[in-house]
């Protein structure tokens, strides 16, 4: 199975930076680095299997094709769209966040 490039939107980059800074400040560099490694692992998976994510918020937000993929070790989810030639990461949010509200801010 071939993989698609993963492209992150600016808001997703900000989400990742905020989470990284939180883990760096609150727990130290090892966990902050583990967070980044987990993100890379997750995006590697969705680049190969973009339809494997849950369409949980697709209808609630009226964003056709929106999928989510959870981190294994951290309480975060990646919200993304499978495009023809790439996977587009819209947000990386804490699983306890009000995802619909955060995503409406994206629109």
Residues 58, 101 contacting (CB under 8 angstroms):
no
Q: Which domain holds residue 60?
A: 6-106
pTM for this predicted structure: 0.89
Helix (H) or strand (E) segment spanning residue 25: helix 10-26
Q: What is the pLDDT of residue 1?
A: 63
Q: What is the pLDDT of residue 97?
A: 77
The single residue listed with the structure tokens 């995802």 is: 99
- Note whether residue 49 is domain-resident: yes
- Note whether residue 57 is domain-resident: yes
Tell me: the pLDDT tens digits for 48-77? Answer: 999 999 998 888 888 999 999 999 999 999
- Note whether residue 1 is domain-resident: no
Residues 93, 22 contacting (CB under 8 angstroms):
no
Closest listed residue to residue 83, CA positions, set 50, 107, 105, 61: 50
Provide the CATH number for the domain around residue 80.
3.30.2310.20
Closest listed residue to residue 84, CA positions, set 59, 58, 50, 44: 50
């Amino acid at each position: 199975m071939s993989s698609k490039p993963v492209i992150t939107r600016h808001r997703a980059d900000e989400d990742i930076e905020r989470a990284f800074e939180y883990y760096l400040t609150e727990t130290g560099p090892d966990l902050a680095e583990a967070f980044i490694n987990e993100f890379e692992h997750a995006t590697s998976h969705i680049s190969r299997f973009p339809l494997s994510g849950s369409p949980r918020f697709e209808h609630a937000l009226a964003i056709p094709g929106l999928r989510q993929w959870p981190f294994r070790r951290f309480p975060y989810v990646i919200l993304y769209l499978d495009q023809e030639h790439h996977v587009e990461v819209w947000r990386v949010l804490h699983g306890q966040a009000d995802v619909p509200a955060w995503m409406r801010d994206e629109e």
